[in-house]
Amino acid sequence: MNHNIALAVFDLAGTLVEDQNAVRDCLHQAAVEYGLNVTKDEISTHMGTNKIHLYQFLIARTNGKMIDFKNFEIDIDGSTHDEAVKLYERYTEHMIAYYQQNCREIEGATETLKWCKNNGILVATGTGFHKEINRVIMESLGWVKNGLIDYAVDLDMVPEGKGRPAPFMLFKAMEYLNVQNVRQVIKIGDTPADMLEGYNAGCKAVIGVMQGSTPIEVWGKYYHTHVIDTVKELPELITSGKIV
């Protein structure tokens, strides 16, 4: 097949893995337990990022320091780090407990990963999770063990945990898999952070999925090239020739 795509980089929660707003709710629960005054909608808007940095971002905003989301991984308020780590540790407990009981793929995810592999496209995942949660997901679904994912990148694999919207996790996958041209890479996700990561990396295509936990009204404001309902539709999009 002549698609000129060497690598597909997928988000996890909301893109390949069912979320049911669990990530947002676990983040919010930990914040509320800690006494942080934030709403679920505010957390939802900033999904897909480094969760420690997200809590730093939210603490700073609560304290009246407004940071442009596009500069999320640039304007980090170092004074909030210790507080944010405490929130993150509590969140991690909630999130691991959830995935140990409720880790399910989005319908058609395995078939799409198989299709990519069968059509010469390397597959990587990038996530706003640290290694503890990423490991639980991968062990539950078996995609790495079964050879359907070539490289599963988490925040602990990039310097200083600089995750989305920075492009470094995507570049990490390219480096590991020896994909040297970002114009042969497509990014698939369901959050503003995913869209900005793909844009900042200069990907061939930045594809938003409608079925994720973040509505298109939120992530659609950011750069993207294509919209699909779910990852199940990715093979059809690629074979249609619309990714150029």
Model pLDDT, residue 1: 63
Token couple for 244 = 């150029």
Q: Average pLDDT for consecutive 10-residue bins of the chain (244 residues)?
A: 90 95 95 91 91 92 84 88 94 94 96 97 96 96 97 96 96 98 98 97 98 90 97 97 90
Q: What is the pLDDT of residue 209?
A: 97
- Quick: pLDDT tens for 101-147: 999 999 999 999 999 999 999 999 999 999 999 999 999 999 999 99
Per-residue pLDDT, 108: 97
Q: Which pLDDT score, from 0 to 100, does residue 193 have? A: 95
In order of their start, the domains of the chain are: 7-18+105-239 (3.40.50.1000), 22-102 (no CATH)
